[in-house]
Amino acid sequence: MTVDESRLDSIIDEYNAEPGSLISILQDIQAEYNYLPAESLEYVASRLNIPRVQVFGVATFFKAFSLKPKGKQQIHVCMGTACHVRGSKRVLEELERKLEIKAGDTTENGEYTLETVNCVGACALGPVVVENEEYHGQMTPIKVENLLNGK
Amino acid sequence: MSQNSQTPRGEMVTFMLNGAEVQADPNWNLLEAIQFYGIDIPTLCYDEGLTPYGVCRLCVVEIGSGDRTKLVTSCMHPVREGLEVRTHSNRVIKTRKMIMELLIARCPSSKKLQDMAALLELKEVRFKPLNDDCILCGLCVRMCEEQMVAKAIGFAGRGTDRYITTPFDMTSEECRRCGACMYICPACELRCQGPQAETVLCSGCINTEPVCASEYGDAMCFMVPCLSCVKGPEDVK
Ligand code: SF4
Ligand code: SF4
Ligand code: FES
Ligand code: FES
């Protein structure tokens, strides 16, 4: 993937190329590309004049950042305590089987990314699956089919 | 030690160190003062030439008096007027040994850690050994950044997945192969492959009689200082 330097420039300039704004800059880049392309990180490091390893360290520290391309549909299965005791494990297993990927991976066609999270703050609805910011409560393995069919 | 061995000048602060009233330069951290007065406490992530980092926790000391005492890392704690510092109280020694036990369990192959464990008279390791080759002390990162001004390596990931690496996990252009990171690393030098090499805890040699190295040259222990000399063989069980 080639990154558009002028687009990166405009993001970086918005923060006056402040090294202190590294996280905000990376967030904007992540929003733009759905992940952080390696070239963009190199470019940020040189524009902000900070060590490359520092940018890499920050990019790998936060779970919100991804160095690998993410799918169009991002599915987060809650594995928090409340969801766990209500059977989120079976929901996750069903999703893994249906999508033929493991948690943390993206399908080959770039359609789905499956991830686990620990509590999304909606425990009463558990087990919760969040698909692109949309919350689905009381999930069961059976409902997984509908979820993937967009119903 | 250069900075420490000069006579301190200017305003001094007075505090209690192991029951003795001592004075120190207010710019020092506790560890510098402790070392200045010749008290030996173990440190791992501290180096005089680098910014203190306070991660190994081995340099713990107890401050305060009566029931209101707490443990602090001396390399990160400033000297202050009226402090009461104990470097070898029961609580400190117990904590130090526990930290050492955890470090050894993470990285049993390190000579430096094994030597320190022997000096602390660690007798058992109750944790499952991880056999990692890094204790995340950050010395290499600070060495590379502060002394070599290369900034070629750093931390990546977090929590249990934290590790030391180059940018993008690839051979880095910034690195000038100076070797300073390996020089300072406490985990790089492998422990002796002596009589009990496969145990988690070394110090097997101190049980052998006679203890002197000439007999056991092949064991390559060369512990500095040699435990049997420090203590005398009759003190070591
Ligand atoms: S060898 Fe490379 S990584 Fe290590 S201190 Fe030197 S420049 Fe830094
Ligand atoms: S590689 Fe060595 S110096 Fe660097 S953090 Fe790990 S143990 Fe410390
Ligand atoms: S445990 Fe799943 S939302 Fe809290
Ligand atoms: S030497 Fe003080 S915490 Fe490591």
C-beta atoms of A57 and B145 within 8 A: no
pLDDT of B21 above 70: yes
B84 and B10 inside one domain: yes
Buried-state track A46-80, b at ≥16 Cβ within 10 A, e below 16: ebbeebbbbbbbbbbbeeebbeeebbebbbbbbbb
For residue A35, what is the domain's CATH number? 1.10.10
- What is the domain count for chain B? 2
Pocket test for ligand 4, best of B75, B113, B142 (most atoms within 8 A of CB): B75
For B46-107, the three-class secondary structure string (H helix, E strand, C coil) is CCCCCCCCCCCCCCEEEEEECCEEEEEECCCCECCCCCEEECCCHHHHHHHHHHHHHHHHHC
A23 and A88 inside one domain: no
Complex confidence, ipTM:
0.75
A79 and A142 inside one domain: yes
Does residue A37 have its Cβ closer than 6 Å to ligand 3?
A: no
Distance in Å from the first CA to the final CA of chain A? 33
Does residue A129 have its Cβ closer than 6 Å to ligand 3?
A: no
pLDDT of B5 above 50: no
C-beta atoms of B172 and A53 within 8 A: yes
Residue A17 forms part of a structural domain? yes
Average of pLDDT values for A119-145? Answer: 91
A102 and A56 inside one domain: no
- What is the domain count for chain A? 2
B59 and B145 inside one domain: no
C-beta atoms of A53 and B153 within 8 A: yes
pLDDT of A58 above 90: yes
B68 and B154 inside one domain: no
Q: Which residues of B touch A38 (CB under 8 A)?
A: 168
Are β-strands B68-73 and B20-24 bridged in parallel, bridged antiparallel, or unpaired?
unpaired
pLDDT of A89 above 70: yes
Q: What is the helix (H) or strand (E) element at residue A76, kind and residue range? A: strand A73-78
pLDDT of B184 above 60: yes
Residue-range definition of the domain harbouring residue B65: 2-88
Answer whether 0.90 is exceeded by the pTM: no
Q: Which residues of A touch B172 (CB under 8 A)?
A: 52-53
Tell me if chain A has a CB within 8 Å of the CB of B136: no
Per-residue CA distances from B41 to A25, A106, B60 (Å):
44, 50, 9
Residue B115 forms part of a structural domain? no
Residue A68 forms part of a structural domain? no
Closest CA to B216 of B197, B231, B201: B197
State how far the Cα of B80 lies from the Cα of B35, in Å rounded to an integer.
16
Chain A / chain B CB contacts < 8 angstroms: 40
Query: In percent, how much of chain B has pLDDT > 90?
Result: 63
pLDDT of A95 above 50: yes
pLDDT of B227 above 80: no
What is the least distance, in Å, from the CA of A113 to any CA of chain B?
20
